[in-house]
Amino acid sequence: MGALARNRKRIDESLTSYSSSPLSPNSRIPKRPKLFSPPLQPPTRPASNRAVARVSRYPPPQPSRRVHAPCKPEKFSSVSSPSRGACPPEERSGDDEGMGNTFSRLLEVYNQAKKEALTTIPDRSKEKEVIRLDEEDDEQNRVSEDSSVEEVVDLGDDEPEELELERRKKQQPSDFTTLTVNGSSLRVEAAEKMRELMSLDPEDLPRYKKLIEEVERKSTPKLKQLGFEIQVAENKRALFESLRPKKKKPVDEAPVEPFILLKEEEKAVVDRAFSNVNRRKVLVSHENSNIQITGELLQCLRPRAWLNDEVINVYLELLKEREKRDPKKYLKCHFFNTFFYKKLIGGRSGYDYKAVKRWTTQRKLGYSLIDCDKIFVPIHKEIHWCLAVINKADQKFQYLDSLGGRDAKVMQHLARYYVDEVKDKCGKDIDVSFWEFECVEDLPEQENGFDCGVFMIKYADFYSRGLDLCFHQKHMPYFRLRTAKEILQLRAD
């Protein structure tokens, strides 16, 4: 540490002597002459900090000599205003004219290349030609009315490229036509342009023919397959059309008896029965069924009312009595009441024949069910009435719903019942496996929510006559009045 201190002291003394003593004849002279020499600084008082005192003893830096060399001007820089890195004004005075000429020549080359590029665009027939006019004729320049030629004013070589692009965009819609189809706009080529494109060159005709043949070769098998499928579908439709049952006869061709108009005195009797005065009064009493019809029960036959069990059961009894009066005119039928089917399927396991076994004894009916052509079973589904028919004449189990519903389970239960009934009453085993289960279609359907009961009893009325169901929703008001009249008379016509 002592040696290092002594060396440092010697270095400091030498530096001090160099900075304070004048140049000696043996001292080193720099190669480059100095333009100016700064005045010698008087010795300063050493600072307290030794490092700062040492730095202050060094000679001040000498300014470097400027070297005159050619410099490249900045691109598109102003000649009059020098920029960073440009030559000094005193050295650039002789080159101002040369640089201006160079920039002018570059601008001329650019404009010449631009013109040559525009002239190289190929001319097409029926297209617009751009004619550049001199600036002296600016007032007379205008767009020509000819669709194939358009005059465009030349704004000079210094015209911005944006204006040129905008002018070209404005020229494009002339080759197109806007069509409006169903509120939507379609941009299609103009008629002349389309004719030009559609016209074929005779030399290209063989190539187009070959292309058309190739398209036909690829599409012909698909078209044949599609035609075959269409033919098969048409045959199926014709087959289903032939199997579809024929439409029912119109009401005009139906018999007159089911639609006999009521007389005025008959309407008056029905109106009195519907009055509130007779609501608690027993209007009629049916002895065979032991059912009494009061004015309140008869109110269900008024418009927009739901039929009740008493009115339905009395009317079905009247239909059976009508058959007995004139057996030759009507089919031999049996009419179960509205409680039969609920009793039949009300057992613990569902179907229960024993619950209804005594309903059809010979002593009660005077005949056997196997002798009947049709057996009618009213079906009540909470708030909707339907009708099931055991049609022995046609060997069918039928289901009729005025709302177009289907219920195969009802027909299965009735098929099982019919087999058990015949075996119990006649001791015969019959096979109904080949009988048809039919949910009748093309039948009159209701168009409201309260006429299902009237539709159901009229299904039974027309089928018991051997007639087709040739009535409609519009007949329901009449059928309500007629049913009320027949119940009050205890006679079905």
* pLDDT tens by residue, 382-395: 899 999 999 999 99
> Would you place residue 101 in the very low, low, confident or very high pLDDT band (cuts 50, 70, 90)?
low
Please confirm, yes or no, whether 372 is among the known catalytic residues.
Answer: no
Query: Is the confidence at residue 29, as pLDDT, over 60?
Result: no
Question: Which of 2-16, 50-64, 434-448 is predicted with the least confidence, judged by mean pLDDT?
Answer: 2-16
Mean per-residue pLDDT for 315-332? 94
**Interval 449-482: pLDDT, tens:** 999 999 999 999 999 999 999 999 999 999 999 9
Q: Please check whether residue 411 is in contact with residue 435, taking contact to mean a CB–CB distance below 8 angstroms.
A: no
- Of 211 and 328, the one with more pLDDT: 328
Query: Is the confidence at residue 146, as pLDDT, over 50?
Result: no
Indicate whether 145 belongs to any domain: no
333, 386, 452, 470: which is the annotated catalytic residue? 452
CATH of the domain at 474: 3.40.395.10
- At 476 the pLDDT is 96
> Would you place residue 397 in the very low, low, confident or very high pLDDT band (cuts 50, 70, 90)?
very high
Rounded (10°) angle between helices 264-274 and 476-489: 80
Indicate whether 288 belongs to any domain: yes
Indicate whether 173 belongs to any domain: no
**Interval 240-262: pLDDT, tens:** 777 766 555 444 466 888 999 99
In angstroms, the Cα distances linking 290 to 76, 88, 287 are 122, 136, 5
Query: Is the confidence at residue 223, as pLDDT, over 80?
Result: no
Q: Name the range with the highest mean pLDDT among 6-10, 24-28, 379-383.
A: 379-383
Indicate whether 399 belongs to any domain: yes
Mean per-residue pLDDT for 234-243? 79
> Would you place residue 112 in the very low, low, confident or very high pLDDT band (cuts 50, 70, 90)?
confident
386, 401, 413, 461: which is the annotated catalytic residue? 401
The mean pLDDT of the chain is: 74
Q: Please check whether residue 128 is in contact with residue 148, taking contact to mean a CB–CB distance below 8 angstroms.
A: yes
- At 242 the pLDDT is 76
Q: How far apart are CA 12 and CA 304, in angstroms?
A: 130
- At 326 the pLDDT is 92
87, 154, 309, 384: which is the annotated catalytic residue? 384
- At 477 the pLDDT is 96
What 3-state DSSP class applies to 463? helix
% the chain with pLDDT above 70: 58
Q: Classify residue 167 as exposed, middle or buried by CB count within 10 Å of its CB (0-12, 13-18, 19+).
A: middle
- At 398 the pLDDT is 97
Indicate whether 295 belongs to any domain: yes
In angstroms, the Cα distances linking 194 to 143, 147, 198, 200, 201 are 24, 15, 6, 12, 15
**Interval 45-89: pLDDT, tens:** 544 455 555 655 655 655 555 544 555 555 444 444 444 444 444
**Interval 168-220: pLDDT, tens:** 655 554 445 554 444 444 454 455 555 555 555 666 667 767 777 777 676 67
What range defines the domain where residue 402 resides?
255-489
Indicate whether 71 belongs to any domain: no
Indicate whether 232 belongs to any domain: no
Predicted TM-score (pTM) above 0.75: no
Indicate whether 417 belongs to any domain: yes
Q: Please check whether residue 453 is in contact with residue 306, taking contact to mean a CB–CB distance below 8 angstroms.
A: yes
Please confirm, yes or no, whether 452 is among the known catalytic residues.
Answer: yes
- At 10 the pLDDT is 54
- Of 345 and 51, the one with more pLDDT: 345
- Of 142 and 463, the one with more pLDDT: 463
> Dihedral sign, CA of 127, 133, 137, 139?
positive
Question: Which of 190-199, 272-281, 402-411 is predicted with the least confidence, judged by mean pLDDT?
Answer: 190-199
What total number of domains does the chain contain? Answer: 1
Q: Please check whether residue 312 is in contact with residue 338, taking contact to mean a CB–CB distance below 8 angstroms.
A: yes
Please confirm, yes or no, whether 384 is among the known catalytic residues.
Answer: yes
